[in-house]
Structure 1
Amino acid sequence: MQEPRYRIVFRGQIAFGFDRDEVRDNLKNLCRFDEGRVERLFSGGGVLKSDLDAVTAGKYLAALERTGALCTLEPLPAPTPQAAAVAKAPAATLHCPHCHREQPPGTECRHCGIVFERYLQVQARKAAMAAEKGSQPDRGVEASTLPADAPLLERIADYLCRHRERAFVLKAFGVIAAILLLKSFLSGIFFLILFLFFPLGFLFYVRAEAASTGQSPTAVLAQHITLMPIMYAEGERKKEGVSWLTYTLILLNVLVFYGYEIHADIEFLSDNLVFLPHAPNLWNVPVSAVTALFLHAGNGHLWGNMLFLWAVGTVVERRIGFRRLGAFYLLSGLMAGLLSVVVARTFLGETAHGLGASGAISGIMGVFAVRCYFKSMVFPLPILGIFSLILPISLKVRLNSLVIIGLFFLSDLSGGLGQLTGSNASNIGHWAHIGGMLCGIALASLFRLGDEAVEERHMEIGAQALAGGKVSLAAGEESLRLTLRQNPRNTEALLLLARIRSKHQTSEEGRDLYRRAIPELLRVNPKEAASVFREYYQKYLQGVETAAQYRLAGIFYQEGDLELAYRCIEGVLQDPETTSEVRQRALFQSARILEEQGLTDSAAACYRRIIEEFPTSPHLDRARVRLASA
């Protein structure tokens, strides 16, 4: 087995107790770098040493730490077994990893035609995906405790309890079925009566809810009323980042429509830019697959599509990123157009021509159905009738996103079948919507976005429980533990569970969860880690692991919180496992903090300890100078 190799990377971070100029000089002397190389390292980071064995890398890392430069040790990717086998083959001949035939060295197989490097990369990816898939158990599934001869209803209930995610999806399908049944069996007069008497019944509900919860009727009314006339996702926790691509797509569609399309020659548009063009040729057919996504038949068509794109695109982009959103958008739009053309040609013998972003947006809705299946959508229902045009007050109808997207899909399926049978003469691209949505679902499944969705759903349950919502603390704790079983290093889950376990009283488990979360958080978001440590320290008055606490001391010192910085340093000094090198730096920094607090006698005591206990310390001269000036 080949020995692992490493590289040492510096990203401009300086150890606590060192200043920038000191570290620059130390690096120049140790690594023999010129001024330009050092400047580049501090501005953008870089690799200091590469292709090292573990022992050599450890020695280099220790030497660099003494300079005050915080470096990281990163393993180099090991070559795949197939690549190693090819590399070790004799120079005269090699064996193809696919057909296993012996042949002279080269980049391609002379017999089966594969490119060796690409083939080995694909095989390595397949092996990694298979291993990952095989190592992941079904989320939320527990072993059944029922006997084999248990009644059918009990077995169904037990199955749904053990398969929580499937039960969640089945519940959504049940709601869809109930809505369709109501629509089929209830007459129009019933809806008229309901519409007339609903406001009165709703007011009675508001009064009753206010009386039972102790809230004011106005507060209850505000929870169920919205002035937003469009559908949107409720309770969106992911606020970080702006969905730039979604807003860019909306802006492009608006600019194309008002800046070009309404002034353009209709014949040119239909002959070249809709999909498929009326006058197809080699250039306009592939071009129209993209241009058709930015053309619309009118104001209503444009703004209806853009509102749906805003509702689902902003939520999805925060989770999958703008690159994947853009790729999914274009692929879904392409598949939407293709399915529409194929269905029209196959069943009607016609050539379909389409335009609009609805197929691509349906694809994003399909991605939403997989990645955000647990989210609630607010569907505004006007309750003032025609007066809603003047005062747009709507009732918040909260439905699971699967229900809403499922109803849209069934509506398109019904409309599409009606177009095939002749009972529906509309020009709506139902089959384009279906093709786009199926493509989005397939892409989301291919990239396993559902796994991320399950984890986020349980995180939301934990957050709701901590916030004191309708979810109990026990349910929130159960969901968070399930998340941590699948991903033990999920920092947010660790923090939520730590806060739940420490909400009413401190506990040993709560303390341990905080101590696991803070070092993990320190690697990705030091400022937030410092904030969480403050929260933890107020509850437990204890420190965390020495390395993390030393870094936290530096953060608090930079923020001006000298008291907490000193407490962190004090904890480092009291830890018997603290190394001599860290201890002398901590002593020196402790003295500096005490000086800034005006405690000169205590600072002088620290300087004396450095002189007495560490006679070879690099801080010795500075300690003597400080002590002499004290």
Structure 2
Amino acid sequence: MTLLILKANRLNSLSLLLNYHSLGASGAVSGVMGSFIVRCYFARLRLNIPIFMVPAIANPVRVQALIVVCLFFALDLNGSVRKFIEEGCRIAHWAHVGGYLAGFILGYVIKLHRPAAEEAVAQKAERFSAEQENDERATRLYKDVLERHPEDERALWYFLRLYQYDPEKQETIFVRLIQVLMRQGFKKALGLLDDFFPKHIRSIPGDLLLRFGLHYIENSDYFKARLCFEMASEKEGPWRAKAMLKLAEVLAFQGSEALAGEVCSNIVSHFPETPFSKEALRLQKQILKIQRNSGAESL
């Protein structure tokens, strides 16, 4: 706008201000590109460069997006200067330049650069880890990421693979990751558990073990369900009584009536006057009935 006023003053032509078309999408797009520099300065673009000017034969090249945006800014800045000197050009280059600057300033005002810096570190770490397994630079950067964001999924996956020969460290990362995945969706957490089962199962929180066990029962996987309920029943928490009852039911179903009866007795003694205690007594009666019938048949 400043360039337009100066040009109108130099040419002594008020009509430039009254009849000039200054509204358009290009200025808004330039503003978005200015904010892009602040938020995604680390991004890379994949450009297909035609070989011998034949589009069908192209060589893909990755370049910094910042270079491309700065190139467009330089072209618009040059166009603004030429427009101030020359006449006849109807492209509002000055509006583009203003859009770039406004978007850039607005990006800093709303502090887009803060998450950008953190994401740049994560992107760099991911690139290093893709180039070489167990890259020291990636390890150092992912450690910085976890210090700022302890639940960063990419960093946790990286260390889960990195510590494959260190069970204690891998177990710590595994428990953190499975809780992060559970908040994103049950299926994602279940997929991780299935990949490692039964490794690290003892360190999973009891409430999660109960949910996994119930899922396995619904899918008739009684071996995994039994392990989940056993681990959950050993941990203190509001889930323990239900986990013990489900464990007793699985044991009875598998033919381990004696073990199921012991679990029911523990439920009655530890959780008296509760619905779980009543269910345990009912199950005990069923187990005794089965044992009597099997004893009578053997006679």
TM-score between both structures, scaled by the size of structure 2: 0.78
Task: Determine the structure 1 residue equivalent to 2:143.
Answer: 481
1:463 aligns with 2:102: no
When residues 465 and 543 of structure 1 are mapped into structure 2, their CA distance, relative to the original with a 3 A threshold, is farther
SS at match of 1:395: strand
2:60 corresponds to which of 396, 402, 421: 396
Listed one character per residue, the Cα deviations across residues 428-459 of structure 1 (whole Å, up to 9, x for unaligned) are 22222222222222222222222212222222
Residue among 352, 361, 376 paired with 2:29: 361
Q: Secondary structure at the match of 1:512?
A: helix
> Deviations for 1:106-163, whole angstroms, at most 9, x for unmatched residues?
xxxxxxxxxxxxxxxxxxxxxxxxxxxxxxxxxxxxxxxxxxxxxxxxxxxxxxxxxx
**Residue 619 (1) aligns with residue 276 (2):** yes
Contact persistence 1:381–1:395 (CA under 8 A) = yes
Residue aligning to 2:297 = none
Give the letter aligned to residue 475 of structure 1: R
Matches within 5 A, 1:69-108: none
Q: 1:540 to 1:584 in 2, by over 3 A?
A: closer
Shift of the 534–495 alpha-carbon distance from structure 1 to 2, 3 Å rule, reads farther
Is 1:432 matched up with 2:92? Answer: no
Matched, 1:495 2:156: yes
Percent of residue pairs bearing the same amino acid type: 25
Candidates 401, 407, 412, aligned match of 2:76: 412
Partner of 1:189: none
SS in 1 for 2:46: strand
The answer to whether the 8 Å contact 2:207/2:239 transfers is no
Conserved 8 A contact 1:463-1:476: yes
Aligned residue pairs, count: 278
Task: Map Cα deviations across residues 238-283 of structure 1 (whole Å, 9 max, x no partner).
Answer: xxxxxxxxxxxxxxxxxxxxxxxxxxxxxxxxxxxxxxxxxxxxxx
Partner of 2:191: 531
Give 2:153's aligned amino acid.
E
- Relative distance call for 1:608 and 1:542 in structure 2 (3 A) is closer
Kindly report structure 1 stretches of 4+ aligned residues shifted beyond 6 Å: none
One-letter amino acid of the structure 2 residue matched with residue 417 of structure 1:
V
Give the structure, 1 or 2, with the largest relative contact order (CA under 8 Å, sep 6 or more): 2
Contact 1:494–1:513 (CA under 8 A) maintained in structure 2: no
Q: CA deviation at 1:418?
A: 1.3
Amino acid at match of 1:525: G
Residue 354 of structure 1 aligns to a residue in which SS? coil
Map of 1:259-270 to 2, 5 A cutoff?
none
Q: 2:3 aligns with which of 340, 343, 357?
A: 343
- Answering whether residue 256 of structure 2 is matched by residue 588 of structure 1, we say no
Tell me the secondary structure at the aligned position of residue 399 of structure 1: strand
Distance 2:57 2:132 in 1: 26
1:444 aligns with 2:116: no
What is the one-letter code of the residue matched to 1:498? F
Q: Secondary structure at the match of 2:63?
A: strand
What whole-Å deviation, never above 9, does each CA across 1:399-427 have from its counterpart, x for those lacking one? 101111111111111111111122x7533
1:249-260 alignment runs, 5 A limit? none
Provide Cα deviations, 1:84-109, integer angstroms capped at 9, x if missing partner: xxxxxxxxxxxxxxxxxxxxxxxxxx
CA distance in 1, matches of 2:170, 2:183: 21
Pair 610,507 (structure 1): closer, same or farther in 2 beyond 3 Å: closer
C-alpha RMSD of the superposition: 3.0
Instruction: Tell me by how many angstroms 1:593 deviates.
Output: 3.8
How far did residue 477 of structure 1 move? 1.0
- Amino acid in the other structure paired with 1:624: L
Partner Cα distance (1:361, 1:562) in 2: 58
Q: Distance in 2 between matches of 1:425 and 1:566?
A: 82
Task: Give, in whole Å, the separation in 2 of the partners of 1:559 and 1:454.
Answer: 45
Are the aligned partners of 1:473 and 1:500 in contact in 2 as well (CA < 8 Å)? no
CA shift at 1:376, angstroms? 0.9
Deviation for aligned residue 1:497: 3.9
Deviation at 1:472, TM superposition (A): 5.6
1-side partners of 2:95 and 2:219: how far apart? 56
Shift of 1:518: 2.8
Check the 8 A contact 2:201/2:231 in 1, yes or no.
no
Task: Map 1:102-501; keep pairs closer than 5 Å.
Answer: 339=1, 342-349=2-9, 350-351=16-17, 352-385=20-53, 387-388=54-55, 392-422=56-86, 425-466=88-129, 468-469=130-131, 473-487=135-149, 489-501=150-162
Partner of 1:301: none
Q: Which of 170, 190, 210 is residue 510 of structure 1 equivalent to?
A: 170
Conserved 8 A contact 1:604-1:627: yes
- Give the secondary structure class of the aligned counterpart of 2:275: coil
Distance 1:460 1:610 in 2: 51
Deviations 1:11-33 (A, max 9, x none): xxxxxxxxxxxxxxxxxxxxxxx
Q: Which residue of 1 aligns with 2:224?
A: 564
1:37 counterpart residue number:
none
SS of equivalent to 2:131: coil
Q: How far did residue 552 of structure 1 move?
A: 4.1
Gaps of 5+ in 1: 1-338
Q: 1:478 to 1:622 in 2, by over 3 A?
A: same
Report the secondary structure of 1:571's partner residue. helix
Which deviates further from its counterpart, 525-534 or 449-458? Answer: 525-534
Contact 2:171 2:203 in 1 (8 A): no
Tell me the secondary structure at the aligned position of residue 393 of structure 1.
Answer: strand
- CA distance in structure 1 between the aligned counterparts of 2:248 and 2:50, rounded to whole angstroms: 68
Gap change, CA 1:561 and 1:451, over 3 Å in 2: farther
Task: Give, in angstroms, the shift of residue 365 of structure 1.
Answer: 1.6
Deviation (angstroms), 1:536? 4.8
CA distance in 1, matches of 2:7, 2:195: 66
> Per-residue deviation at 1:605?
4.2
Contact 2:134–2:162 (Cα < 8 Å) also in 1: no
Alpha-carbon shift at residue 616 of structure 1 (Å): 2.4
Q: Deviation per CA, 1:284-340: give whole Å up to 9, x if none.
A: xxxxxxxxxxxxxxxxxxxxxxxxxxxxxxxxxxxxxxxxxxxxxxxxxxxxxxx4x
Give how far 1:600 is off.
Answer: 5.3
More helix by share: 2
Whole-angstrom distance in 2 between the partners of 1:362 and 1:599: 72
TM norm structure 1 = 0.40
Whether the 8 Å CA contact 1:514–1:536 is kept in 2: the answer is no
